[in-house]
Amino acid sequence: MKIIDKELTKNKIISAVGILIQLFMTYLNTKIIGTGSYIPDNKIENSDYFTKTFFEKDQSLIKGSGEEIVAKFRDITGIKERRWVKSNQTASEIATKAAEQAIASAEIDRETIDHIIVATNFGDVIEGTIQTDLLPSLAARVKHNLGIANPSCVAYDLIFGCPGWVQGVIQADSFIKTGLAKRVLVIGAETLSRVVDIYDRDTMIFSDGAGAAIVEGTTSSKKTGVLSSATVTHTKDEAFYLYLGQSNKPESDPNVRYIKMHGRKIYEYSLSNVPKAIKAAMDKSGIPIEEVKKIIIHQANEKMDEAIVMRFFRQYGIQIDIDDVMPMNIQELGNSSVATVPTLYDMILNDQIKNHHINKGDIIIFASVGAGMSINAIVYKQ
């Protein structure tokens, strides 16, 4: 009996110590505590392209009616309309609008923000100029627009293709976990309508918009927020899948350059590499794949995104209902590059995406792919 009593006492002590450790153990978590977005009012519908004339990259005419070209485009991308900014708006202006919403949503004093990271590719482009303007940086302009006086609030831009906003959150997580920041404003803003070649049918993909988030370091007894992440960049053969190039229009000025892409190569690259990159982040998290509720993926191309997500789950031997897991807004908003992920996330949180909701404790994945070529992913617990 004495031996049994000793064993019981020992087990009770071990159990009590375990409980005490759990009570006093805290995790430093990186949480999104507020979001905001700006969707331009100017709606460009597919029918607006029916009367357009399109040329190939070799400047040969694309045969067929505008209606036929647009119908094929919609079948591939899922896009039926997109949003463009007004003539007097710039990327820094709409970035500021999204930031104001995020600050209000988080209910914080803007003077307590340690970093402002603005993901962009072209900066401010004045209508009719096609000239990118990043002097000063968009982040500096946003800080100025927000009226933040604190000199310790560091503002800078992140040029990382379409995955820029996701990478900004990854950077914010690193700053927070290493004690270099407590609170970071991460924005994705772009006005791609200013850098498109109207004679290139790829023009129909691109749109404008801005999304923002307040990312903060918090402590709790459980792991939450950013659980893991992964980023890769392929440049050996892939660096110039997206680039600036001459208009497709015959006899156009070669010194005036517009956004261009090798669509088929991007499609094949993405299907081969994005599922693996998302899996790398997922495996690092230690979370069972069955717990993933949503994948908020860069809104690049409806069919491509669907194929990526299906391939990601197949790596675990799982078949899923794509409509349950992958919310989309590309059909109405088009591809706004760095703004697609934060805009979609904000819209879901505000019940603006039909049949999609995110609840406290849900496991979600942010993922993107774009110019460079780069891919990144974050596993996040709401």
User: Quick one: pLDDT at residue 24?
Assistant: 57
**pLDDT tens-place string over residues 309-367:** 999 999 999 999 999 999 999 999 999 999 999 999 999 999 999 999 999 999 999 99
**Is 307 within the bounds of a domain?**
yes
User: Quick one: pLDDT at residue 221?
Assistant: 87
Residues 94, 125, single domain; the answer is yes
Residues 234, 282, single domain; the answer is yes
Of 5 and 247, the one with more pLDDT: 247
Q: For residue 196, what are its two tokens?
A: 């498109």
- What ranges in the chain are assigned the alpha helix state H? 2-24, 66-77, 91-106, 138-146, 164-177, 263-285, 302-314, 322-325, 330-333, 340-349
Report the pLDDT averaged over residues 110-134: 94
Grade residue 79 by pLDDT with cuts at 50, 70 and 90.
Answer: very high
Cα–Cα dist 360/371, whole Å: 33
User: Quick one: pLDDT at residue 331?
Assistant: 95
Residues 190, 235, single domain; the answer is no
pLDDT, mean over the chain: 93
Residues 343, 303, single domain; the answer is yes
Residue 89 and residue 191 in contact, taking contact as beta carbons nearer than 8 Å = yes
Which CATH number does the domain housing residue 75 bear?
3.40.47.10
User: Quick one: pLDDT at residue 130?
Assistant: 83
Residues 261, 346, single domain; the answer is yes
Cα–Cα dist 208/122, whole Å: 12
Mapped onto helix, strand or coil, the DSSP state of residue 85 is coil
Residues 357, 377, single domain; the answer is yes
Grade residue 86 by pLDDT with cuts at 50, 70 and 90.
Answer: very high
User: Quick one: pLDDT at residue 183?
Assistant: 97
**Is 315 within the bounds of a domain?**
yes
**Is 92 within the bounds of a domain?**
yes
Report the pLDDT averaged over residues 40-57: 93
Domain count for the chain, please give it: 2
Write down which residue in 200, 220, 240 finishes a domain: 220
Containing 190, the helix (H) or strand (E) segment is strand 183-191
User: Quick one: pLDDT at residue 5?
Assistant: 61
The closest of 200, 191, 190, 135 to 163, measured between CA atoms, is 190
**Is 59 within the bounds of a domain?**
yes
**pLDDT tens-place string over residues 279-312:** 999 999 999 999 999 999 999 999 999 999 999 9
User: Quick one: pLDDT at residue 282?
Assistant: 96
> Which residues lie closer than 8 Å to 44 by C-beta, 6 or more apart?
81, 82, 83, 84, 193, 207
Residues 373, 230, single domain; the answer is yes
How do beta strands 374-381 and 225-233 pair? antiparallel
**pLDDT tens-place string over residues 187-210:** 999 999 999 999 999 999 999 999
**pLDDT tens-place string over residues 95-120:** 999 999 999 999 999 999 999 999 99
Grade residue 19 by pLDDT with cuts at 50, 70 and 90.
Answer: low
**Is 173 within the bounds of a domain?**
yes
Write down which residue in 201, 220, 239 finishes a domain: 220
**Is 18 within the bounds of a domain?**
no
Write down which residue in 220, 243, 263 finishes a domain: 220
Grade residue 13 by pLDDT with cuts at 50, 70 and 90.
Answer: low
**pLDDT tens-place string over residues 140-163:** 999 999 999 999 999 999 999 999
Residue 313 structural domain = 225-381
Report the pLDDT averaged over residues 152-175: 97
Cα–Cα dist 293/327, whole Å: 11
User: Quick one: pLDDT at residue 67?
Assistant: 87
Calculate the alpha carbon distances from 46 to 73, 83, 87, 230, 330 in Å: 9, 11, 20, 36, 13
Check whether 18 has a pLDDT greater than 60.
Answer: no
Cα–Cα dist 266/264, whole Å: 5
